[in-house]
Structure 1
Amino acid sequence: MSTISAAAAVEGAASGVSLYRAIWRWHFFAGLLVIPFMLNLAVTGSLYLFKDEINSTFFGYRYTVQPTGKALSAERIAEIAASAVPDAKATSYKDPARADRSAIVTLSGSAGSTLVFVNPYDGKVLDVIKSTDEFNYVVKRIHSLAYFGSIANRLTEIAGGFAMVLVVTGIYLWWPRRQTGGVVTVRGTPGRRVFWRDLHAVTGAFAGMLIFFLAITGMPWSGYWGANANAWLTENGLGYPVQLWDAVPKSRKVAEDILPKSGWVIEKAPVPLSDIAAAQSARPIGLDKAVEIARRLGMTRGFDVAIPSEETGVYTASVYPDDLAGERTAHIDQYSGKALIDVAFDQYPFLGRAIEWGINVHQGQEWGLFNQLLMLATCLAIILSSVTAVVMWWKRRPAGGLGVPPMPPKRSVYYGLWVIAGLFGVAFPMSGLAILVMIAFDQIVVRFVPLLKRAHA
């Protein structure tokens, strides 16, 4: 009886060691691949959190004005902006968010899309820049790596999925197993590897859930997962309220095609058409009237108005404020002034509202400065975790090898992990596919290629 018990104990210990080594190995490989991307996301994300403060401090010359008397009309501001760029036409107008803010007009012409900042009181043109050169736009494009093409953007999407894997596997590796140090305290000094191991583990343990939150709320912007998630929500009545579009003719354009900024849930919603019959006889209401209607509908200050470029186009007013309760999009017939579609945040289904809320918190907009500082602390934790991971690996790697954690004694432990990886791949296909490739490389290529096997020792 004692022999059987002893054998069972040995078997259990071997299984525990195998699982630990397998997860440690996954954590290592995922971290090795994801660190450069996580550093980029953390640094650029930190900048974007304080975009308003950066705009006011470094670009105040084009965003900040001195209120003096009555503001000019939207149409007059659009005319002034158009005169500043030859052969260009106004495509959208941004209402000043505050009395001391400039109006922004987007122009489209032979030189591409251009932003013109206008003092709404005296009509002075404060700055003219290409839309793609605007600071916030550049930071967002670098953040997602879309600046470097679709392949780089997909790699960021994979990194987002891997970040979730790192959090889950990291919590497992950190979980106390009779040890007292390295759980909530850091042992040793910077000269010792244990110091960096503990600093890495404790940082990940305390910030893990917030890092996971940032990763999963960033996925809606990803090229593959985000687009498919948006389509799935819409098809199942969980995104924008599609029934509001049933009674109006629709164009082939969607909201993101015409608006400088829109809510994620609404960005793929089709743009309706103005009364085609009226286009033959009626005159457009004009930008001033469209702005007036948007205000009457309850749009908070700082809303954008897309200007129709075709006879059947519509004026589209949209606002995406810090307070999500004020999020709203309205399509206005350019002849009758009728609001063809008027959808607010509280009309989204629950899941749509939840995703928009997550995005708002992700961007540091939900609870003011506290939200910004909380997300900044999470970004700093990502940077610290990345740096400590590299230092920890550098200190433990053997000469001539990569210092990869050893293979588990029992390879059968991978069967359950493969199932988990498969389920994860269903939820996040790009990341799941990368994990399967990583497993195949580790289990097939590394095992049977002597050179790689030695390098991974």
Structure 2
Amino acid sequence: MDTSPSAARRAALHRILWRLHFWAGLIGAPIVLFAALTGLLYVFSPQIEGWRHGHLDRVPVTTPALPLDNQVAVALADAPGSTLRFVVPAHRPGDTTQAYVTAPHAHHADAGGGHDHGLPTGRIVYVDPGTGEVIGQLAEMQRFKTWAKKLHSSALQGDGWRWVLELGASWMLVLFASGLVLWWPRSQADGGRGWKALIPRGGHGRATWRDWHATVAIALGLVLAVVLVTGLTWSRHSGERFRAMQQALGQESTKVPKDLMSAPGDAPLQSWQAVWERAREQAPDIAMSITAPKGPTGVWRAENFDRSQPTQRFTLALDARSGATLFSSGWDEQPLLAQATGVGIPFHRGEFGVWNQALLAFAALAAVFSVVSGLVMWWKRRPKGRVAAPPLGVTQVRQAPVWLWVAVAALGWAMPLFGWSVGVLVLLEAARLFPLSSSRRRPGPTAPR
């Protein structure tokens, strides 16, 4: 038996990571299960949307299409009292034009997005571009993809509940990293299983469940890691840290400046049709959304509405008075980190096609199996009537390598919810290891009589 200091440190690290992995898995299991199952539902949104909303999205092809101004006017007439937010012109033959409006009763909500505490309150008016007829209206939350997205990100409770899923994603990332370290086998030359550790052993015992628990997670580990990291980049607290890092590295995403001022000119750009034609001249061939200026001397804004083609993303700002291009940004103008998230987020949403959906579906099922198999392993190991957390003593804590605490601090900064929760866990462990009630007073010197 190796009794060297390095062996003691390795044993201490293993014990700490095992206890951390155990508590995180046991406490975070409900969140992980919810995120995986709702994510699995969201993955198949394109097929479900085609079945539920195909009659609104597609119409018989009629040429030529009416001017976009006529289509917008028809949409607004069908939604009296509403405020127009933006328009998605029909891109392919047979597409409908979609006008996103803020419902009259929701004017108190966020004027920029028609959101109430993070849940969309606006409506979509669908117009046949060839006939100019309104095909129908639908509340944004009635679109299956929007509903499934909000279910996955906030359990349909708005921004106030987003932290729960962010907490689960943070801990799941730590669970995966700690589990990988705990599983990592010794080489066959040192008496370990080596590469054979990737082949689960037969039987029904705890060792077999442990092998499958690790193998399934490792097989889809890269996909799970990408899904977790990209999900955290647009979360509230971790997302703020990510954007701060982008700014510090000079990698912030290029966006339309909010303080653009209109320049004087003699060629006003006042019609939706003219703006659409100008945008199509300067932008890639992709479905776009157009937002009108707030006044006759404001700025028209156009950007890609289709997020499944990251290399064709663009942002465009046009002067309403002069028609001049005030701002233009495409894929090549995006910094490296913005390009990475521009690819990672559509991948997270399964927007790259059937292969992407299948990969995410397997990843979601792998996450579910990891939780279930972990609970089975715990149940098989625990003595009856006890929680049976992996034991951890003061000696192991003192022998832990310094880099472990540095890594935990770095992760706590990058993922604030993880940092706060692990801080609570450390306090509870400290109270267990150093209980105040167990200290006994030593008898003092006897006073002379």
2:276 pairs with 1:291: yes
Q: 2-side partners of 1:385 and 1:59: how far apart?
A: 35
Residue 375, structure 1, aligned to residue 360, structure 2: yes
Matched, 1:142 2:155: no
Alpha-carbon shift at residue 90 of structure 1 (Å): 2.2
**Is 1:426 aligned to residue 413 of structure 2?**
yes
Asked if 1:240 corresponds to 2:253, the answer is: yes
**Alpha-carbon distance between aligned partners in 2 of 1:315 and 1:141, rounded to the nearest angstrom:** 29
- State the partner residue of 2:53: 59
Residue 258 of structure 1: aligned partner:
none
Equivalent of 1:184, from 187, 192, 198?
198
1:19-34 correspondence to structure 2 within 5 Å: 19-34=13-28
Gaps of 5+ in 1: 1-5, 242-265, 451-457
CA contact (8 A) 2:292 2:301 kept: yes
Name the CA distance, whole Å, in 2 between partners of 1:342 and 1:187.
Answer: 58
Residue 199 of structure 1 corresponds to 212
- Distance (whole Å) between structure 2 residues aligned to residue 283 and residue 145 of structure 1: 43
Task: Give the TM-score normalised by the residue count of structure 1.
Answer: 0.82
- Tell me if structure 1 keeps the 8 A contact 2:33–2:367: yes
CA contact (8 A) 1:183 1:201 kept: no
Does the residue aligned with 1:213 lie in a helix, a strand or coil? helix
Distance 1:143 1:406, change over 3 A: same
**Retained in 2: the 8 A contact 1:193–1:392?**
yes
**Following the alignment from structure 1 to structure 2, what is the Cα–Cα distance between the partners of residues 449 and 124?**
76
- 1:157 to 2:143 alignment: no
Deviations 1:356-386 (A, max 9, x none): 22223222335x3323322222222112112
Kindly indicate whether residue 236 of structure 2 is the aligned counterpart of residue 223 of structure 1.
yes
The letter for the 1-side match of 2:43 is L
CA distance in 2, matches of 1:378, 1:59: 27
Greater displacement, 123-132 / 56-65: 123-132
Compute the displacement of 1:24 (Å): 0.7
Query: In the aligned structure 1, how far is the partner of 2:289 from the partner of 2:83?
Result: 16
Question: 1:193 corresponds to which letter in structure 2?
Answer: R
- Contact 2:307-2:346 within 8 A present in 1 as well: no
Residues in 2 aligned to 1:36 and 1:154: alpha-carbon distance in whole angstroms:
14
RMSD over aligned Cα atoms:
2.8
Alignment TM-score, normalising by the size of structure 2: 0.83
Q: Does structure 1 residue 75 correspond to structure 2 residue 60?
A: no
Question: Taking structure 1 as reference, are residues 91 and 282 closer, same or farther at Cα in structure 2, changes over 3 Å only?
Answer: farther
CA distance in 2, matches of 1:108, 1:149: 18
- One of 388, 391, 400 as aligned partner of 2:385: 400
Deviation of 1:180 after TM superposition, in Å, equals 3.9
Note closer, same or farther for the CA distance 1:129–1:35 as it changes in structure 2 (3 Å cut).
Answer: same
Query: Is the alpha carbon distance of 1:273 and 1:418 closer, same or farther for their aligned partners in structure 2, counting shifts above 3 Å?
Result: closer
Other-structure match for 1:100: 94
- Structure 1 10/372 Cα, relative in aligned 2: closer, same or farther at 3 Å? same
**2:425 partner SS:** helix
**Unmatched runs of 5 consecutive residues or more in structure 2:** 107-121, 438-449
For 2:247 and 2:297, the matched residues in 1 are separated by 25
Taking the aligned partners of 2:267 and 2:152, their CA distance within structure 1 comes to 46
The one of 354, 379, 384 equivalent to 2:369 is 384
The amino acid of 1:18's aligned partner reads A
CA contact (8 A) 1:74 1:93 kept: no
**2:43 aligned residue:** 49
| 2:316 corresponding residue in structure 1 | 330
Where does 1:204-353 land on structure 2 (aligned, <5 Å)?
Answer: 204-234=217-247, 236-241=249-254, 266=255, 269-273=256-260, 275=262, 285-319=270-304, 320-353=306-339
In 2, the alpha carbon distance for the partners of 1:350 and 1:301 equals 22
